[in-house]
Structure 1
């Protein structure tokens, strides 16, 4: 039976009815009146890191290619990336850096962390192709700095290839230009709004042009590379995230378009089992300020929940930074508590002499009823609205552990156990800043979108953070920029398989 995609009409709010718009049919699915149509081999949805790789690869193979971007500028979050993971690139060989690192080394660092719940074959495909992918990008004009290292010491391997000036634009812009030179069409301010599905096969999509008219794109394959869903309040709320006090560190426009369209086509939605690039901060305080970057990464601080109870090892991010976000999200609310003693420890460790002054400024601003300073613990709790007696008891217990030098509760390293004894005292509500969601649409090794039974949906592919299945609930940094390496590789793989299966 022929049918349009099964997206609910409410999900398409803003699509106009009548001339060039859409109206809901009696079964609730949208019926469009396109003002124009075009025929292509492959249409790519999203022009971020994965989308540009898919477009260049498709055009290079000789497919007529359309690249759609909903924003005014191409690149998405790809413009914010600093580099890309790879092993065995020519650049590494020339530098003599990272030579000898193998897939076995990489997967040893990942599969155990994820309790063997990740698909090692996807890792193997990405890692083994990563060096050639770097060389391929260079052939299309991508500018690298020539530096390969371990990304600020966070990685286990010297495999982080820095873009020139550490700017993702030196990846995005040359790739866009290369795609155009090979005949690809690039359309900005033209979001894909729904798939065209006939007898279970994806046959193209509908897109909304800047003038509001509907464009029908007849295509042999659709590649979803829309960059995830971290800015969709509805999708995030379904997954337990309240965005009231969150901050978007990424580029605007990542509203879950790919996930929505894939789900409507019958895709297996694995978004609840996948991760984010996210970090704790306090609402209204500059995320990138030295103060935020110093105190919100854990270590010699105290974290308590809405009941004023300590709930975790605050040093949880020392091995994998994203574990900070994991721990904070286990509680309804999380608060970071500090004293003059802890401030002095941070100053000693970092040389950041203005830390207390900056914390005082933050407490004075208190932009979201979330940062307070007081001379007593009881007053501090009262200002934040949590139980004073409970907070006093928690700090008394914590200080006793610090004096003992052993964290009998949550096994924090002794050198990070700093007692809270000296006023002033500070409390910061730990809100969340999101860069992107990572994963959501299930795929196979060909980057074909699959159903819950693992059956491919003919003509539909997903790449980049829309379909990343390298991780589970945590984005590890032991292999820095493996996500961006997957962006490039999955885009290429999707285009190659779309060409072989649907175009040739």
Structure 2
């Protein structure tokens, strides 16, 4: 049987599939893999076929000696390398791409100050840690969240200083992102958040600028276009280095104090996605070349993936104002139909309604010219019509703070015209709005149960639509680690010399969806893990 890429996704998820499905995946498995009793594609040790271990690389052209080797120049790897080098270590940062790669803008942290009545004391730290654990459906390992909570303020303050020195474009966005979460379970909480921005500048651009400025300083050496291939162990089982391809030959980078894997996720590896996240088959990917390299190398070295699903990071902050993305306006699919209670369906979770081949993550928020008055007391920040023009492709002029190829906000004097601009089914859309206005007049949402205070009529032109496209940014799913980010083997024992940070490290989230109640948590976690591990290894 021949399977297309989409078929592979549809028949993925061996852990939850039946024998027939597993047999289909087995037929697609690499030739080095075997099959289980049910027909599932497996490596020789019973792991999924994509973890089949390759033959050891032996033709090493050169060996380079360092204190610490960091694999992956992203939101976790770059801070790790900088912190270690600043602390006196000789550091190699190796990156398979030709430049540093990351995404997003916002990182967040806790400022610890028990002496300040408004600062975050021990009870505040504990409250935030428990709050995040609840958001992650109680699958977080508390020691992982604690590492962020207790070290993030120091880490992000340090990163801000480094970014300032390197000339990065950064903005203090603490008030913007944390004004509504100043108290958690009765405890005062103080944050520090900042953005690499404004857009189109982002964290990836910031990491590139940091690398360009600090490469060659403080014992840091960066190797680009240098994809890691395999980890190296000594006779005792300690990880002592990594073999990478550089200039068409294999080079072994030894790390006397440790090897840190910070290679990100696997959203572009079809087999891994089919196995772990088959529901994402029809969702577009924001990133490229994220192929689970680090997870594979670590599993070959004895690690195991965390035994929960990967947390999906999926959103669209770009088609229209991000501060309006969670506002409970009427939402419709491209077929013009309403599909959810908008007050109980934050934008970060909208993609779960839109996974079909027909939807592929597209929906529109709909409102009329009264929105500035009707929605004045809604959580978030409304953009007035003039501010909205930055997100409107039809309005000419310079547009700042947006990705111009991703904006998708439109206005029209009739619903039919708006439907045409949004590219959605006009007849269904007009009928949906008419039905919605009936519910508003009744004051009771008989269709979806949305509370009456969120029901606002759509009657006064011009009518507005934000055509959002939910795409997959990342899957946060990695190997098991302990509280020091030391990678664990199949029996839960630390693998000496091997560390994982960022999206290839497990045990922080565990929820099906990445929670966005604390904006900037994902990048804040990456930066903090990198900083903490870099400093700790340098001090060994």
Query: Same fold by TM (over 0.5)?
Result: yes
CA offsets, 1:193-230, max 9 Å, x none? 22234565433222121x32221223343211123234
RMSD between superposed Cα atoms in Å: 5.0
Matched residue of 1:102: which SS? helix
- Alpha-carbon deviation of 1:85? 1.7
- 1:247 to 1:111, Cα distance in 2 relative to 1, 3 A: closer
Structure 2 residue corresponding to 1:313, chosen from 341, 347, 370: 341
Within 2, Cα distance between the matches of 1:469 and 1:499?
24
What is residue 190 of structure 1 aligned with on the other side? 226
Within 2, Cα distance between the matches of 1:272 and 1:67?
30
- Alpha-carbon deviation of 1:298? 5.4
CA offsets, 1:445-495, max 9 Å, x none? 110122454333333211122215332233334333232332233123434
Structure 2 residue corresponding to 1:461, chosen from 499, 511, 514: 499
Q: Does residue 432 of structure 2 align to residue 417 of structure 1? A: no
Within 1, Cα distance between the matches of 2:531 and 2:90?
15
What is residue 54 of structure 1 aligned with on the other side? 80
Deviating more after overlay: 166-175 vs 62-71: 166-175
Matched residue of 2:229: which SS? strand
Equivalence map 1:38-187=2 (5 Å): 38-74=64-100, 76-77=101-102, 81-88=105-112, 98=119, 102-134=124-156, 136-137=158-159, 142=164, 147=172, 149-152=174-177, 156-157=181-182, 158-162=190-194, 168=203, 173=209, 177=213, 180-187=216-223
Within 1, Cα distance between the matches of 2:112 and 2:494?
32
Alignment check: 8 A CA contact 1:337 1:426 kept: no
- Alpha-carbon deviation of 1:173? 4.4
What is residue 447 of structure 1 aligned with on the other side? 485
Within 2, Cα distance between the matches of 1:62 and 1:356?
50
CA offsets, 1:407-460, max 9 Å, x none? 345432324334567999999886323444334232111101224543333332
Within 1, Cα distance between the matches of 2:224 and 2:113?
33
Q: Does residue 508 of structure 2 align to residue 476 of structure 1? A: no
What is residue 299 of structure 1 aligned with on the other side? 328
Alignment check: 8 A CA contact 2:261 2:504 kept: yes
Within 2, Cα distance between the matches of 1:297 and 1:272?
27
What is residue 10 of structure 2 aligned with on the other side? none
CA offsets, 1:141-176, max 9 Å, x none? 755979462334565135133368666566764577
- Alpha-carbon deviation of 1:67? 0.8
Normalized against structure 1, the TM-score is what?
0.70
- 1:357 to 1:182, Cα distance in 2 relative to 1, 3 A: closer
Within 2, Cα distance between the matches of 1:89 and 1:137?
19
Q: Does residue 533 of structure 2 align to residue 494 of structure 1? A: yes
Within 2, Cα distance between the matches of 1:174 and 1:376?
48
Structure 2: gaps spanning 5 or more residues? 1-28, 34-51, 183-189, 376-382, 396-405
Structure 2 residue corresponding to 1:29, chosen from 15, 32, 55: 55
Structure 1: gaps spanning 5 or more residues? 1-6, 12-25, 282-286
Alignment check: 8 A CA contact 1:9 1:29 kept: no
- 1:479 to 1:385, Cα distance in 2 relative to 1, 3 A: closer
- 1:430 to 1:475, Cα distance in 2 relative to 1, 3 A: same
Alignment check: 8 A CA contact 2:156 2:528 kept: no
- Alpha-carbon deviation of 1:237? 4.7
- Alpha-carbon deviation of 1:50? 1.6
- 1:422 to 1:161, Cα distance in 2 relative to 1, 3 A: closer
Alignment check: 8 A CA contact 1:459 1:498 kept: no
- 1:228 to 1:337, Cα distance in 2 relative to 1, 3 A: closer
- 1:189 to 1:39, Cα distance in 2 relative to 1, 3 A: same
- Alpha-carbon deviation of 1:128? 1.4
- 1:489 to 1:347, Cα distance in 2 relative to 1, 3 A: closer
Q: Does residue 280 of structure 2 align to residue 241 of structure 1? A: yes
